[in-house]
Chain A
Amino acid sequence: MSVLEVRNLTKRFGKFTALNGVNIEVNEGEVYGFIGPNGAGKSTTIRVLLGILKATEGGAKIFGKDAWSDAVEIHKRIAYVPGDVNLWPNLTGGEVIDLFVKLRGGNNKSRREELINKFNLDPTKKCRTYSKGNRQKVALVAAFSSDADLYILDEPTSGLDPLMEQVFQECVMDAKSEGKSVLLSSHILSEVEKLCDRVGIIRQGEIIETGTLNELRHLTRTNLLVETKQPITSLNELKGVHDIEEKDQGLSFQVDTEELDAVIKHVSKFGIVKLESAPPTLEDLFMRHYESKDEVSGGVS
Chain B
Amino acid sequence: MTPTHLFKGTGEITKLLLRQQRFKILIWLLGLIIITLAVASAYPDMYTDEKSKQAFALTMDNPAMIAMLGPGYEEQDYLGSIGTLFTHEMLLFSAIAVAIMSILLVGRSTRADEEDGRTEMVRALPAGRLSYVSAAMIILTAVNAVLALFIGLGLSVLGIEGINLESAILYGAVLGATGLVFGGFTAVFAQLAETSRGATMLSFAVLIVAYLVRAVGDVSNEALSLISPLGWTVRTDVFAGNDWWPVILSFALSIVINIIGFYLNSIRDLGSGFIPARGGRRQASSLLQTPIGLTLRLQRTNIISWGIGLFALGASFGSILGDLETYFADIEFMQAFLTEEEGYTMTEQFIVLLMAIMALIGTVPAVMTILKLKGEENKNRTEYLYSRSLSRNRMLGGYFLLAIAVSIIMQLLTAVGLWSAAAAVMDDALSLGSTFKSALVYLPAMWIVIGLAVFTLGIIPKAAGIVWFYLIYGFVVIYLSGLLEFPEWVNNLSVYEHIPQVPVEDMDFMKIIVLTIIAVVLAAAGFLGYNRRDIKG
Contacts and interface: CB of A to CB of B under 8 A. Distances in A.
B48 interface: no
Contacts of B384: 80, 82, 85-86, 100, 139
Contacts, number: 113
B383 A52 contact: yes
Interface in B146-195: 194-195
Nearest to B390: A103
Interface stretch (B277-285, B349-357, B493-501): B277-285
A94 B283 contact: yes
Given A100-B388, A105-B389, A124 B282 contact: yes
A103 B385 contact: yes
B535 A53 contact: yes
Contacts of B52: none
Contacts of B379: 86
A233 to B, nearest CB: 58
B280 A52 contact: no
A187 interface: no
Given A72-B389, A89-B195, A105-B389, A95 B383 contact: no
A102 interface: yes
B289 A71 contact: no
Contact of A95 (B288, B390, B537): B288
Nearest to A123: B282
B535 A52 contact: yes
Interface residues of A, number: 43
Interface in B239-288: 271, 277-285, 288
Interface stretch (A125-133, A155-163, A220-228): A125-133
B284 A98 contact: yes
Nearest to B298: A88
A19 to B, nearest CB: 13
B8 to A, nearest CB: 28
Given A53-B534, A103-B291, A94 B386 contact: no
A104 B390 CA distance: 8
A50 B280 contact: no
B380 interface: yes
Nearest to B378: A86
Max count, chain A CB within 10 A of own CB: residue among B278, B289, B294, B387: B387
A56 B31 CA distance: 41
A95 B294 CA distance: 10
A234 interface: no
Contacts of A87: 381
Interface string A54-89: 100000000000000001110110111010111111
A294 B390 CA distance: 42
B529 to A, nearest CB: 12
B195 A50 contact: no
A301 interface: no
A21 interface: no
Contacts of A79: 387
Contacts of A76: 389
Contacts of A185: none
Contacts of A100: 384, 388
A99 B294 contact: yes
A214 interface: no
B297 interface: yes
Contacts of B389: 72-73, 75-76, 103-105
B284 A126 contact: no
A235 interface: no
B532 interface: yes
Contacts of B194: 89, 128
B339 interface: no
A52 B289 contact: no
Instruction: For the complex of A and B, list the 7 residue pairs with the smallest distance between their C-beta atoms, beginning with the closest.
Output: A80-B387, A98-B284, A92-B280, A102-B289, A103-B388, A95-B284, A75-B389
24 contacts: A50-B387, A54-B533, A75-B387, A75-B390, A79-B387, A80-B387, A82-B384, A84-B380, A85-B384, A87-B381, A88-B298, A91-B280, A92-B279, A92-B281, A94-B283, A95-B285, A98-B284, A102-B289, A102-B290, A124-B280, A124-B281, A124-B282, A125-B279, A128-B194
Interface of B: 115, 194-195, 271, 277-285, 288-291, 294, 297-298, 379-381, 383-391, 532-535, 537
Given A86-B380, A102-B284, A103-B390, 7 more contacts: A50-B386, A53-B534, A75-B387, A90-B195, A91-B284, A94-B282, A124-B281
Interface of A: 47, 50-54, 71-73, 75-76, 78-80, 82, 84-92, 94-100, 102-105, 123-126, 128-129, 139, 152
